[in-house]
Amino acid sequence: MTFRSLEGFIAAISPFNFTAIGGNLATAPAMMGNAVLWKPSCTAVLSNYFIYEALEEAGLPAGVISFLPSDGPVFGNVITSSPHLSAINFTGSMPTFKHLWREVAENLDTYISFPRLIGECGGKNFHFVHPSADLDTVAPCTIRSAYEYQGQKCSACSRIYVPESLWPALQLKLDAIQKQLKVGDVRDGSIFMTAVIDAKAFKSIRSYIDYAKTGADGAKIIFGGTYDDTKGYFIQPTLVQVDRWDSKLLREEIFGPVLTAYVYKDNEALEIVSKLKDSTVFGLTGAVFSEDREFLYKSRDILRHAVGNMYLNDKSTGSVVGQQPFGGARMSGTNDKAGGPHYVLRWVSPLCIKETSVPQTEWRYPSMD
């Protein structure tokens, strides 16, 4: 059996938040022999172009990867209407990926082959804290996961479930750490956070903070809740507590430095985990903190379809290529696990070849005699 490149071109559509993702989306298919059209995010064109320049300097043949900054809808319409589209390698929002999928479906009769759609979308990632959890681990892990890179990561912790007995102490620990977080110019190496990416993101994140300020769903802001777009788009790390299980602050992706807490009764831990597995449309990352090994493994089994990357006593971010391939299912994507050993097989088509050295000369079956 041999492996061939796909017949046609592959469209790589990369996000703003990780420059390395752009490089991976374009180069993984190219390394398997494919021609790639790379569309970077309109808010990360320059950083992605630096990667493209580095590839050219390293000897990338002309035309293997075409760097094509362009309007998103225009690019999408062009690629999905081409009969030569063989695959889309996408990282971005769930609505955009759904739109591309619909466009492909509507053009199925156009294509030479069924296009492969590989997508990494958003998440509503959680930290679940068991009554036995070590708060000296929970607090720094939660701060890192929820607020680093301004929460603009698909794997960022956006909600946390805490038992009543630990909530007062955890609040104090989280507040003590967040007071030390320096927010400022990205060129300052001593900062922990900087501005969110653009005005659109700022307005969206601000709307969730303003929603919390109304007290809807029993919401109250524990810390943060301030924002400023005078120069740049800055949002303070924010912690909100809600009383309603179905609050939109616990269900919808915010993609910013806003963490929502839900406090449960200590004796309901297993019940909450069972409800947690179907609490959102997403299935990307989640973490369980517990010193009770039996509970840890039981919750792992209950949540096996609720996440694509599960963390036990660790933050919900930080997958390492080659060690923990990354990806989610449900509406978080196709879970093809970028960085894993099977990812490259998505960009090739197997060909089985048989050559016989003993020619067949008889047409009759043995049973016929």
DSSP, collapsed to helix, strand or coil, labels residue 285 as: strand
Give 160's DSSP letter. Answer: E
DSSP, collapsed to helix, strand or coil, labels residue 245 as: coil
Domains of the chain: 2-121+333-351 (3.40.605.10), 125-312 (3.40.309.10)
Cβ neighbour number for residue 229 with a 10 Å cutoff: 14
DSSP labels for 68-131?
A: ----HHHHHHHHHT-TTEEEEEEES-HHHHHHHHHHHHHTGGG-SSPPEEEEE----EEEEE-T
pTM of the model: 0.93
* 362 part of the active site: no
Active-site annotation holder among 53, 57, 106, 120: 120
Spatial distance between the Cα atoms of 183 and 117, rounded to a whole number of angstroms: 38
Q: pLDDT in tens for each of the 369 residues of the chain?
A: 999 999 999 999 999 999 999 999 999 999 999 999 999 999 999 999 999 999 999 999 999 999 999 999 999 999 999 999 999 999 999 999 999 999 999 999 999 999 999 999 999 999 999 999 999 999 999 999 999 999 999 999 999 999 999 999 999 999 999 999 999 999 999 999 999 999 999 999 999 999 999 999 999 999 999 999 999 999 999 999 999 999 999 999 999 999 999 999 999 999 999 999 999 999 999 999 999 999 999 999 999 999 999 999 999 987 776 678 899 999 999 999 988 888 999 999 999 999 999 989 999 999 998
CA atoms within 13 A on the CB side of 303: 32
